Structure 1
């Protein structure tokens, strides 16, 4: 069949081709190439100068690659965060290996769990600078006496206040390791005091199961050894020890026995007739207490042999151990 149009020319004689299979192949490829060119035009950019397209930053991060195109800082602006800010933020998140900053160490468990012990380190390192305050009189039931004193010291200047804080802190560690709740009347955290009546009140308000006031004596040279002071039966004014005399003696006897065993120190050779126990009614810290309480004089700071012990850290650790063992024995019955 032939088509003859207005611009047509007379038909030419047909040409004969010998490469028939090649003609068929070309005819088949033309539509395919045309279709590919149309798809390219529809999807490509306006020209070869356009920057290569990149995936959004979040997609690239997910794939673990860095951006192929301009970074967020290409504009010349700095938001002040960057990678460091992201790391800091991540470090604040709780994890299995790093507890939150607000977490606190759980209370220790042990045989003294639920027990409250008040430790009363005698005197205060700052008392000497506050003589007017510590010299004022307070009511201790049977009479009025000084708020507090400076305490004694060794001949070489190691003060009783330093000694009592050191032993008390060692004692606290030992008791806390067994689960006790330990409170101090002072921990070198106040300029002076407290007064003897306040010291008693701290133990009372804490409803302590036991209170121990730690001291060292200032007697004459040659007087050696420790002794534990127990409350006498007193009922006068604000003082009423009737409810604590018996349990306080039990506490004191146990501390005396354990202190002797732990330190090897002998009971006092000048107080208590060799028992290491002394009963007194003139101490406001005992008179005003409503919970079991004793004092311990760990040795005589004015005797050179006792001084050698008192100024030795290893011995002070033994002293703390002896007091702790006595308290534990008392609280466990």
Structure 2
């Protein structure tokens, strides 16, 4: 999401290439297979589960739903199938037993890969309490065409797997399972109706080249129209501070040098996803897609796994108090 406003470059999709993991590696080096299975546990491919029999992609699988990709932007081919199409947005994903059992986390992958095809719909204004704003935007991209919408889905799926492994019930606002959107007011409503214990919207910024680093956006105290963030300002700040601290520790990334005064924290009152939330919620801009050094991180599958891990550990810290 561009910090400056809703104007972004057009979507430039790239056709991913698959690569396979040979059986020989799994036979000769059991440790490598074990490492792969650990990766599959944390790099969710939109519904796949390690350990099931191989199968082809379901014809009903949404063409907009990307799987986690490697450092070269190629889709990682899992040894296990995708058993079914992704559940509709707002539907709880299965949770395992663990320390977060009973906790609900809503993950909001920013934008949508199909938004650029539906400009009329996403340019429609919606009420965000303080004013009216575009339903959604296309998002930004790196100079090489790796889109924010693709990035956010990949990190969100990795984050979902990590939280599920600890027993949390995880819901998405969208999982590449709809042609566009949802609008920012609906994204907030999904978290509210889920009575989420924590909600996070994942983004990457489109600031000027040379601007680097991440920042977490916290809700301002807003009481206007349909918006009343007063009950969630304090817990949202706690959530945001924990995510920022863990993001630095796990990824090694520094707080943004162009906003937030070096704290990695920014308070805003112009984002419908925050203004309309009645549950603790923050946004995270994981880096600046327009800076070549940040873009090298954002396009790395290994770094995106670290990003998901850092966000996860911040959420876990918040939920466990």
Going from structure 1 to structure 2, the CA distance change for 1:139 and 1:107 (only over 3 Å counts) comes to closer
Q: How many residues align?
A: 229
Q: Could you tell me how far 1:208 is from its partner in structure 2?
A: 0.1
Q: Residues 146 and 316 (structure 1 numbering): CA distance in 2 closer, same or farther, change over 3 Å?
A: same
Q: Distance in 2 between matches of 1:288 and 1:303?
A: 31
Any unmatched runs of 5+ in structure 1?
1-104
| 1:107 Cα offset (Å) | 4.1
Distance 1:243 1:313 in 2: 37
Task: Kindly indicate whether residue 250 of structure 2 is the aligned counterpart of residue 262 of structure 1.
Answer: yes
Give 1:163's aligned residue: 151
* Structure 2 match to 1:290: 278
Give the Cα separation in 1 of the matches to 2:94 and 2:237: 34
Q: In the TM superposition, what whole-angstrom CA distance separates every residue of 1:144-191 from its partner, at most 9, and x where no partner exists?
A: 010000000000000000000000000000000000000000000000
> Contact 2:95/2:165 (CA < 8 Å) preserved in 1?
no
1:173 aligns with 2:130: no
Q: How does 1:143-292 map to 2 (within 5 A)?
A: 143-292=131-280
Q: CA deviation at 1:106?
A: 8.0
For 1:173 and 1:144, how far apart are their aligned partners in 2? Answer: 35
Instruction: For 1:107 and 1:247, locate their aligned partners in 2 and report how far apart those are by CA, in whole Å.
Output: 24
Look at both structures and tell me which one has the larger radius of gyration over its CA atoms.
1
Q: Which has the higher contact order (CA 8 A, sep 6+)?
A: 2
Q: Which runs of 5+ in 2 are unaligned?
A: 1-92
The 1-side partners of 2:196 and 2:174 are apart by 16
Residues 1:107 and 1:176: Cα distance change in structure 2 (over 3 Å): closer
Q: What is the correspondence of 1:107-126 to structure 2 with a 5 Å cutoff? A: 107-126=95-114
- Tell me the equivalent position of 2:292: 304
CA RMSD of aligned residues (A): 1.0
1:202-253 deviation digits (Å, cap 9, x = unpaired): 0000000000000000000110000000000000000000100000000000
* Partner secondary structure for residue 261 of structure 2: coil
In the superposition, the TM-score normalised over structure 1's length comes to 0.68
